[in-house]
Structure formats: structure tokens, C-alpha cells
Amino acid sequence: MSDSSARAAALHRRAIVIDGHSDILIPVTEGKMELSERVEVPGLGWEAPPGLERSPLVKFGLSPHTVWFGCMGQYDVPRWQEGGVTAQLCAVYLDDDWVNDAFRRGMEMVWNLHDQVRRTPELVLARTTQDIRAAKAEGKVALILTFEGCEALGSDLRFLDLYHSLGLRSASLTHTRRNIFADGCWAADNKGGLTQLGRTLVDRMETLGIVIDLVHIAESGFWEVLERTERPVILSHTTPTMFPDTSSRDSAFMGGKLPRPRLELPRDRAMLEAIAANGGVLGLIHVAHVDIDSVVRDIETALEVMGPQHVGLGSDHFGLEAAPRGLEDIAALPRLTETLAARGHSDEVLIGFLGGNYLRVFEEVWGG
């Protein structure tokens, strides 16, 4: 092992590593896996069960293999441990099939998170930054409950307090679609901002100490939230629905229906600078990048524009087809640290990127 590799490995072991987004609660809630077990999924030649082609996610652009397995084989306790992960943000996301029974589905996903923690000694539920630090000291993995879209509230904002009592510590108002709180980034050709209910939701999140996640919201809502909030926000994963690659060479994947992610300047500079000015953190996504070098280019673009205090991890692995070469699952995170260290980034920058920046935001918003 070279001196650079040894330095990177030691730094990664020392760091509190926080990843900003995973959809692993979906296959757990569907009864397809346990977090305690290392999951191996079949190759892309797998034959899908009849009817899967009618799934909303297939229509969204994902293959039947990705729809069925999702991020299975990319997040679990063995992989978190191999990747040196201290804390993982785990999202409650509801696809279109569940919107009509949203509150029940949301509570079911939260129950499953609690159940997995209860039955898995290597896991803890993090409600405070002290819980994250304790997980690091004890060699455990802290799971942080988040919302990717607030549909799980139904139409009753009182339930936000209930979810908070169950561990909810971060939430985006929308996914890509429109809901009763705001427009998502693909809601319509003419995208609106927050509704009155959405404004009330933002205010209540601030009161409770829930981190606001700007991911997937339409641009007008993005700016409205930043104007309304007095606390730092995150954008947990730089999804291609918000930062799409416009180049002809790499713009399309999944049959041409979805763009790949890519930060582009000067197009994205104003949004990146606004997150930094707010004191927030941008999570850099892994899914849909071609390879680890593509991920690193985005990280370095964000570092250049935002400064090292405002950039973090936001992996969002979701399927074998969309996994970048060299960074196929969360276990591969030490390779990312090694690559960045080899490119000359300092220990201080890497400690912040790996989790220190998220920890700062959480301490300010959660209150400890």
C-alpha cells in the first residue's frame, strides 16, 4: 500500500462518515431483505415476474430488474461496515401506487426501520448528534429517518410531530411530482412554488428541528424555502432530476428516459452558491454516474463553487445498471476517499466531506 493509500485508509477509519440518502427502506418494507444480511442480487439476465412492466417506476424509466431489486445488494449492515459508514439517512418514499394510502404506508416504513434496529445489534436509530458520535465510538451504524417527499403526512400536519417523535430528522417537501405542499421538479411545464400548507410545513419543521432537504423541489420552491428558512438546509443527493447532464454524449440512460446527473457551470452556480450562503450542505450522488471519476468531477466542481464546508455524500445507489464503475455500492466508499486524497485534497477537506459538514448542520438544526 502506498503512503497516499495508507493515509486515505487511516483518515476514512477516523472520520464520522455520513451518507445523505438511501431508499433501502423500500425493499425492507416489501419483505425482500433484512438489513443484517449481506444481500446478493442476480445479474441483469434475471427474468422479471409477469406484470412488473406495469409498475409506475418502469414507466418512469427504470428497468424491471432495477424496479424489483432497487438498492438491494448496495446497502446492508455488512456493506455499511466495509464502507466505514457511521450514519445513513434512510428515506420514506412513496411511489404513485401508495399515494392514496400514504399515511399508513409511511407508518409501515417507519415501523420497519424501528424493527430492523430493534433486531440488529449493529444498528442504532439516531435522533441526536450524540447518537451518531456514540455509534462511531461503539463501531455501530446509526440510521437517520428522513422523508423524500412529505406525502406520508397525508393532509394533516399534526402528523409531522408524530413522525418527529419516531425519529424523523430530515425531509424534502416533494419528490418529482406535485403534492399538496409544493411542486416537484418534474411537476409540470410551468412549475410553481410552495402552497400555503407548504409554507406552514416549512415553519413547523423549523420549530421541531427537522432539517429541510431541497432535493426534487421545483426551482421556484427551492428559492422560496431558502428565503423562508433561518437554519441551514441540505440537498441530500444531487439527483439528475435537478442537475441533469445536458451533453449529448452522456445525457441519457435507462432507454433515454432519464438524464444522468452532472453539475454544470455556469448553469448551476447560483443554486450552489445559495446553499453555501445558507450554511447548508450538498450531497453528491453516485447513482447514474458512469464511473468514480465522474463522481469526483462533480465533487470537485461543488468544492470549487461552494467551499469545503458545504459538500458531502449523497450516494442514492439504486440498481446495478445505474451503478458507477468503481463505486458500485456503499462498501466502495473508501475508494472514493482514496481517489480524492490522491488528487491532493487535505485531511480537513475530506473529514468535512465524509460527514463533518452534515454533522455541523445537524447540530445546528437538531440542537445537539
pLDDT in tens, 253-290: 766 677 899 999 999 999 999 999 999 999 999 999 99
Among 62, 85, 205, smallest CA distance to 147 is for: 205
Distance from C-alpha of 174 to C-alpha of 215, rounded to nearest angstrom: 8
Which band of pLDDT confidence, cut at 50, 70 and 90, is reported for residue 252?
A: low
Domain span including residue 183: 3-366
pLDDT of 169-187, one tens digit each?
Answer: 999 999 999 999 999 998 7
pLDDT the model gives residue 250: 61
* Inter-CA distances, 193 with 196, 198, 280, Å: 10, 9, 20
The predicted model scores a pTM of: 0.96
Instruction: Provide the number of structural domains found in the chain.
Output: 1
Which band of pLDDT confidence, cut at 50, 70 and 90, is reported for residue 10?
A: very high
Distance from C-alpha of 40 to C-alpha of 121, rounded to nearest angstrom: 22
pLDDT the model gives residue 1: 65
**Percent of the chain scoring above 90 in pLDDT:** 82
- Judged by DSSP in three states, 15 sits in coil
Q: Are 331 and 52 in contact (CB under 8 A)?
A: no
Does residue 49 have a cis bond before it (omega within 30 degrees)?
Answer: no
Pairing type for strands 87-92 and 168-172 reads unpaired
Distance from C-alpha of 21 to C-alpha of 88, rounded to nearest angstrom: 7
Distance of CA 296 to the CA centre of its chain: 17
* CATH number of the domain residue 215 falls in: 3.20.20.140
Neighbour-count burial for 330-349, b at 16+ CB within 10 Å, e otherwise:
bbbbbbbbbbbbeeebeeeb
